[in-house]
Amino acid sequence: MNPLSDFPITRKWPARHPERLQLYSLPTPNGVKVSIMLEETGLPYEAHRVAFDSNDQFSPEFLSLSPNNKIPAILDPDGPGGRPLALFESGAILLYLADKTGRFAPQDAAARYETIQWLMWQVGGVGPMFGQLGFFHRFAGKDYEDKRPRDRYAAESRRLLGVLDQRLAGREWIMGGDYTIADIAVFPWVRNLVGFYGAGEIVGFDGFAHVRRALDAFAARPAVRKGLDVPGAD
């Protein structure tokens, strides 16, 4: 019996390999957090594209899995206790995959909570602020003569980059020598800020040498390069 057949989302996106973890996503900063994590861990998975241009995220099938209508979401046929598990929210998914595989999160309790602290820092600060700056800088800036909204988010994004730069001074990764879910969460957003959003100059990105060095190391990882393109076009 297909363990996923009871989930409405599989009617819109049928699982060709129902024994594998199912990923519903797009290659956005939040989306690629999970595809990169899956590539890093080597877990078998099947990716499904949730097309925003056709409002897939508002379909009843997608909302049955992700009621907040945001990507990414997963459906794991082999969840806790061997039962299927559905999850949305990229931070929660990263924690789940780290626990499932025993990788990219420290086993030591204190270090684990410190890692989660930086994961929450990305979820609550970096993502919202960088995303708002991207909206006002790349997309809507020309529609607003008043540049205070853009400048507000630019200033806060610059501050956050300063926090990250200070943290990385003398450290290879956010948690030191170990690459963790904190890095997997943070660096797709940094990459998007200076790449897709083109906001490097307005935040003074060249002045954050430690962030630039870590971003280059992140982008050079084979699993990152592959995960950044998941899911591809249908």
Q: Is the pLDDT of residue 42 over 60?
A: yes
Q: What is the C-alpha separation between 125 and 145, in angstroms, rounded?
A: 26
Helix (H) or strand (E) holding 100: helix 90-101
Q: Is the pLDDT of residue 141 over 80?
A: no
Q: What is the C-alpha separation between 16 and 151, in angstroms, rounded?
A: 47
Q: Provide CATH code, domain 109-222.
A: 1.20.1050.10
| pLDDT tens figures, 7-33 | 999 999 999 999 999 999 999 999 999
- Structural tokens at position 51: 């097309």
Q: Is the pLDDT of residue 142 over 70?
A: no
3-state secondary structure at position 49: strand
The pLDDT value given to residue 21: 98
Superfamily per CATH, domain 9-103: Glutaredoxin (3.40.30.10)
What residues pair up with 48 in beta bridges, in sequence order? 24
Q: Of 140-149, 178-187, 200-209, where does mean pLDDT reach its minimum?
A: 140-149
Instruction: Express as a percent the part of the chain with pLDDT over 90.
Output: 90
Q: Is the pLDDT of residue 39 over 50?
A: yes
Region 106-116: what's the mean pLDDT? Answer: 98
Region 175-182: what's the mean pLDDT? Answer: 98
Q: What is the C-alpha separation between 155 and 54, in angstroms, rounded?
A: 34
Q: Give 149's pLDDT tier (boundaries 50, 70, 90).
A: confident
The pLDDT value given to residue 1: 46
Q: What is the C-alpha separation between 212 and 143, in angstroms, rounded?
A: 31
Q: Radius of gyration (Cα) for the chain, nearest Å? A: 18
Give the chain's mean pLDDT: 95
Q: What is the C-alpha separation between 92 and 72, in angstroms, rounded?
A: 11
The pLDDT value given to residue 234: 55
Scanning 102-200, the segments in alpha helix (DSSP H) are 109-121, 127-134, 148-168, 181-194
The answer to whether 181 touches 135, Cβ cutoff 8 Å, is no
Q: Which amino acid does the sequence have at 96?
A: Y
Domain boundaries, the chain: 9-103, 109-222
Q: Is the pTM of this model over 0.75?
A: yes
* Pairing mode, strands 73-76 and 85-88: antiparallel
Q: Is the pLDDT of residue 143 over 90?
A: no
| pLDDT tens figures, 62-97 | 999 999 999 999 999 999 999 999 999 999 999 999
* Omega of the bond leading into 231 within 30 degrees of 0 (cis): yes
The pLDDT value given to residue 98: 98
Helix (H) or strand (E) holding 21: strand 21-25
The pLDDT value given to residue 2: 66
Q: Of 109-113, 137-141, 175-179, where does mean pLDDT reach its minimum?
A: 137-141
Q: What is the C-alpha separation between 131 and 156, in angstroms, rounded?
A: 12
Region 156-184: what's the mean pLDDT? Answer: 98
